[in-house]
Amino acid sequence: MDNQSVRIIPAWYHLILSTTVFLPIQVKASTLPCTSTEVRISSSWVNIGRVPDENQPKPSDLVELPRELSLNRERIALEKNSYIALLEMLAKAEKDGIYLRVASGFRSNRTQKKIIESRLKGHEYLDDIYRSIAPVGYSTHLTGKAVDFASVEQPFESTSAYEWLKINSNNFGFKETYYKNNPYGISWEPWHYDFTSR
Ligand SMILES: [Zn+2]
Expressed in angstroms and rounded, the spacing between residue 149 Cα and the centre of ligand 1 is: 8
Expressed in angstroms and rounded, the spacing between residue 34 Cα and the centre of ligand 1 is: 23
Expressed in angstroms and rounded, the spacing between residue 95 Cα and the centre of ligand 1 is: 25
Expressed in angstroms and rounded, the spacing between residue 148 Cα and the centre of ligand 1 is: 5
Neighbours of ion ligand 1 (CB under 5 A): 148, 192
- Count of Cβ atoms closer than 10 Å to residue 78 Cβ: 28
Expressed in angstroms and rounded, the spacing between residue 13 Cα and the centre of ligand 1 is: 9
* φ/ψ of residue 23, rounded to 5: -110, 115
Expressed in angstroms and rounded, the spacing between residue 158 Cα and the centre of ligand 1 is: 18
Q: Provide the pLDDT for residue 132.
A: 83
Expressed in angstroms and rounded, the spacing between residue 146 Cα and the centre of ligand 1 is: 6
- Distance, CA of 82 to CA of 63 (rounded, Å): 9
CB distance 143 to 51 below 8 Å: yes
CB distance 72 to 152 below 8 Å: no
Q: Provide the pLDDT for residue 67.
A: 93
Output the tens digit of pLDDT for each of the chain's 198 residues.
Answer: 333 333 333 344 334 334 433 333 333 433 344 444 444 667 788 888 899 999 999 999 999 999 999 988 899 999 999 999 999 999 999 999 999 999 999 999 999 999 999 999 998 888 888 888 899 999 999 999 999 998 767 789 999 999 999 999 999 999 999 999 998 888 899 999 999 987
Q: Provide the pLDDT for residue 190.
A: 95
Expressed in angstroms and rounded, the spacing between residue 195 Cα and the centre of ligand 1 is: 12
- Distance, CA of 182 to CA of 188 (rounded, Å): 7
Element containing residue 59 per DSSP (H, E):
none
- Distance, CA of 40 to CA of 60 (rounded, Å): 33
Expressed in angstroms and rounded, the spacing between residue 144 Cα and the centre of ligand 1 is: 11
Q: Provide the pLDDT for residue 128.
A: 85
Q: Provide the pLDDT for residue 40.
A: 62
Expressed in angstroms and rounded, the spacing between residue 177 Cα and the centre of ligand 1 is: 9
Element containing residue 14 per DSSP (H, E):
helix 3-19
pLDDT tens digit string along 34-44? 444 444 667 78
Amino acid at 116: I
Expressed in angstroms and rounded, the spacing between residue 116 Cα and the centre of ligand 1 is: 14
Q: Provide the pLDDT for residue 151.
A: 76
DSSP secondary structure letters along 80-148 = HHHHHHHHHHHHHHHHTT---EEEE----HHHHHHHHHHHHHTT--HHHHHHHSPPTTT-GGGGT-EEE
Expressed in angstroms and rounded, the spacing between residue 39 Cα and the centre of ligand 1 is: 22
Which CATH code for domain 3-24+36-52+63-195?
Answer: 3.30.1380.10
Expressed in angstroms and rounded, the spacing between residue 97 Cα and the centre of ligand 1 is: 24
CB distance 134 to 143 below 8 Å: no
- Distance, CA of 57 to CA of 38 (rounded, Å): 22
- Distance, CA of 89 to CA of 165 (rounded, Å): 9
Q: Residue 33 has what DSSP assignment? A: P
